Chains A and B, each alone.
Chain A
Amino acid sequence: MNLKAPPQGLWSQGWSRFRTSRFGVAGAVIIVVLYLAAVFAPLLTPYDPIAQGDVPKMRFVAPCRDHPLGTDKFGRDVLARIIYGSRISLTIAFLAVAIAVVLGTLVGAAAGYCGGVVDAILMRIVDALLAIPRLFLLLTCVALFPGSMWLVVVLLGATGWMATARLVRAQVLSLRNLDYVKAAEALGAGGSAVIWRHLIPNTLTVIIVAATLRIGGIILTEASLSFLGLGVPPPTPSWGQMVFEGREALMGAWWLSTFPGIAIAVTVIGFNLLGDALKDAFEPRRFV
């Protein structure tokens, strides 16, 4: 079928396809709201998420008009902690995924383009690292170097690049023998120029989709770490940590673990919806 594509750039084509997906738009809305909440946190709640309130009177207050999601054992407003906590979770997730994606792209592109020995070595490293259970790796590192949020970010990134590397490598392998890549080589472009100018731009959609879908996973991983007490150190609010702290009082003050848990779930769902819709928009299945 030779119908000419409409004269738009490839990004706007993808965008118009994306707009037709209701789930995708819903996911995007969730994410946008979360980010806005994180940015405008001080405007949304008068309470301080860290400072302890008037402990004897304010502790373990059930959800009510003053405190819509209740307070915790230090008298801190749960809603405020969730809102400020979104800053932590979203920042960590974003940075960690960024590190993982950049690292993975470089390794995958090099492996896919160079082939031969380079490819073999890099992929064996990937395989070896993938064989180690990620949580163990994280726990070990965090136990050795406790107490820093930035460390958590770097570690999450450094343990998460392998899947992206494989994905990028596969895409680069499929592009590598196309005529336009050969033409660039014939013109005299060196390997890094070919990778940078031709292979990576044509892999971007794959990378973006993969990254979006991973953010959800990283948020959960971070939450798990915090739940195990090895994530962001208190009193900085992090959702995982809040779930952890609320464990003890689950029977009585159920709101302490439940609401942060819901926040995690909603965020992950939002990113997954967004990622799936982006995938359909930029890698549509063609008819016939």
Chain B
Amino acid sequence: METLLNVLNLVTVFESEEGAARVVDGVSIRVDRAEAVGLVGESGCGKSVTALSIMRLIPSPPGRIAAGSVLFEGRDLLTIPEKDMRKVRGNKISIVFQEPLTSLNPVFTCGEQVREAIALHQRLGRAASKAKAIEMLRLVRIPDPEKRYGSYPHQMSGGMRQRVMIAMALSCEPQLLIADEPTSALDVSVQGQIIELLGELQERMHMAVLLITHDLAVVAQMASRVIVMYAGVIVEESPVRSLFEATAHPYTEGLLASIAKLAHRGDRLSTIPGNVPDPFRLPPGCRFSDRCPKRFEKCPTAEPPLFDVSPDHRSRCWLCGG
């Protein structure tokens, strides 16, 4: 499998009155061509900031990318000039966000916005880019695309808007699609449609997808490989089946156990006690140690590295090595 994107030791820092928080603290991610990778974690773990860092969309005060490299097509995206980066964004690497209502410009029709995305990167005249835009709307299964071309965002439902976002993102046939919580703001019945759509498009366009979500069930549906983040670092990385069947990190175990699954009506849900740590006040040693049911003496003394549990399964836990 050919590697498409290789993020190495990315560190992104946010400055505030209390100092600098390393919101992404040494994260390395590999995405192969046409592969679907899930990036999972709860709020504050740094997954969205990682995605924005790859796209160099971090707002520059208060954030900055402090270290690391993002290798794509033989170049380090963090070092190329901004005008070259603009040719990458929306063209080679696209991103779809969670809340389509605020990601779409309310003043322009949806069709216009898709057309603009196309015209920006491809040398097509107005008529040609409009035709392509309508094709894209059809591709994302928007019914009656010629008519919907002229609809405004507020006239469309959440599911439709998300499809428009996907159409915009895919209009230049990118090699990598980053989807940041693409279904979280949608209704259950629509979530299924969008997940199915993303899966189809990924296969059809031979495209890699980095799917960022807090929902392990969505990841189970779509991804072939999963990366779990906690408090700015990767804590587990594995093919999707092993993650669910041979979980190697207590945090992942806790997450899986606390999901209320259908057809499992029980007395109490299993929980992870405590809260996600404040990035300015990280616990000493392993970041998860103060909430971990399996902690032992070594855990608060030093942060574990990523150990190899099996050739493609790694876990940042002293129970796995050392």
Interchain residue pairs with CB less than 8 A apart (11)? A1-B14, A2-B44, A3-B14, A3-B16, A3-B21, A4-B278, A4-B279, A6-B16, A6-B18, A16-B17, A287-B62
Q: How many residues of B contact A (CB 8 A)?
A: 15
A residues in contact with B16, CB < 8 Å: 3, 6
A287 touches B17 (CB 8 A): no
B49 within 8 A of A: yes
A2, A6, A16, A287: which contacts B43 (Cβ < 8 A)? Answer: A2
| Distance to closest chain A CB from B186 (angstroms) | 21
A180 to B62, CA, bound (A): 30
- Which chain B residues lie closer than 8 Å to A13 at the CB level? 17
A287 lies within 8 A of B44 (CB)? no
In chain A, positions 156-196 with a C-beta closer than 8 Å to chain B are: none
Write the nearest CB–CB distance from A286 to chain B, whole angstroms.
10
Which A residues touch B44, using CB under 8 A? 2
Seed contacts A1-B49, A6-B16; 6 additional CB < 8 Å A-B pairs: A2-B43, A3-B21, A3-B279, A4-B280, A6-B18, A287-B61
Known A-B contacts A287-B59, A287-B61; the reply to A3 vs B23 at CB < 8 A is yes
A58-88 CB contacts (< 8 Å) to partner B: none
A288 near B43 (CB under 8 angstroms)? no
Residues on B with beta carbons closer than 8 Å to the beta carbon of A287: 59, 61-62
Instruction: For the complex, give the distance between the alpha carbons of A6 and B59 in Å.
Output: 20
4 closest cross-chain pairs (CB), A and B: A2-B44, A287-B59, A288-B59, A6-B18
Smallest CB separation, B20 vs chain A (Å) = 11
The closest CB in chain B to the CB of A287 belongs to B59
Task: Give the CA-CA distance A1 to B63 in the complex, in Å.
Answer: 10
CB distance from A41 to the nearest CB of B (A): 40
For B14, list chain A residues within 8 Å (CB): 1, 3
A288 and B23 alpha carbons, distance in the complex (Å): 16
Q: Collect the chain B residues with CB atoms within 8 Å of residue A3's CB.
A: 14, 16, 21, 23, 279
**0 or 1 for each of A33-64: is its CB under 8 Å from B? (1 = yes):** 00000000000000000000000000000000
Q: Closest CB of chain A to B122's CB: distance in Å? A: 29
Contact yes or no, A6 B61, CB < 8 A: no
Min C-beta distance of A67 to chain B, whole Å: 50
Q: Which residue from chain A places its CB closest to the CB of B57 in the assembled complex? A: A288
* A269-288 interface with B by 8 A CB criterion: 287-288
Chain A minimum-CB-distance residue to B42: A2
Q: Output the least CB separation between B230 and chain A (Å).
A: 14
Closest to B21 in A: A3
Whose C-beta in chain B lies nearest to the C-beta of A6?
Answer: B18
**Which residue on chain B has the smallest CB distance to residue A20?**
B17
Give B71 Cβ to nearest chain A Cβ, in Å. Answer: 26
- A1 CA to B61 CA in the complex, in Å? 13
Q: Which A-chain residue is minimally distant from B48 (CB atoms)?
A: A1
Nearest CB of chain B from residue A8's CB, rounded to whole Å: 9
A200 CA to B16 CA, complexed, in Å: 29
Name the CB-closest residue of B to A17: B17
Measured between beta carbons, the chain A residues less than 8 angstroms from B17 are 6, 13, 16
Shortest beta-carbon distance from A172 to chain B in Å: 24
Q: Which residues of B contact A2 (CB under 8 A)?
A: 43-44
Chain B residue at minimum C-beta to C-beta distance from A8: B17
In the bound complex, CA of A287 to CA of B16 (Å)? 12
A16 nearest in chain B by CB position? B17
For the complex, give the distance between the alpha carbons of A13 and B278 in Å.
Answer: 18
Q: Compute how far the CA of A3 lies from the CA of B19 in the bound complex, rounded to whole angstroms.
A: 11
Q: Which of B1-55 contact A (CB under 8 A)?
A: 14, 16-18, 21, 23, 43-44, 49
Interface residues of A in 5-38 (CB under 8 A from B): 6, 13, 16
- A2→B43 CA distance, assembly (Å): 7
Most chain B beta carbons < 10 A, residue from A3, A4, A13: A3
Residue of A nearest to B281 (CB): A4
**Chain A: minimal CB distance from B285 (Å):** 21
B203 CB, min distance to chain A CBs, angstroms: 33
In the complex, A287→B279 CA distance in Å? 19
Across-interface contacts of B49 in A (CB, < 8 A): 1
- Chain B residues lying within 8 Å of A1, measured Cβ to Cβ, are 14, 49
A217 to chain B, nearest CB (A): 33
Which of chain A's residues have a CB closer than 8 A to the CB of B21? 3
Interface centre among A1, A16, A287, by most B CB within 10 Å? A1
B18 partner residues in chain A, CB cutoff 8 A: 6
- CB nearest neighbor in A for B44: A2
**Shortest distance in angstroms between B114's beta carbon and chain A's nearest beta carbon?**
24
Contacts of A6 in B (CB 8 A): 16-18
Q: How far is the CB of A3 from chain B (nearest CB, A)?
A: 6
- Shortest C-beta distance, B226 to chain A (Å), equals 22
**Complex: A157 Cα to B23 Cα, angstroms:** 51
- CB B213 to nearest CB in A, in angstroms, measures 16
Residue of A nearest to B278 (CB): A4
* A residues in contact with B62, CB < 8 Å: 287
The smallest beta-carbon distance between A18 and chain B, in angstroms, is 13
Q: B23 → chain A, closest Cβ, in Å?
A: 7
A142-B43 Cα distance, complex, nearest whole Å? 62
Least CB distance from B287 to A in Å reads: 15
Report how far A73 CA is from B278 CA in the complex, Å.
Answer: 70
Q: How far is the CA of A15 from the CA of B7 in the complex (A)?
A: 41
Q: How far is the CB of A124 from chain B (nearest CB, A)?
A: 30
Residues of chain A within 8 A (CB-CB) of B278 are 4
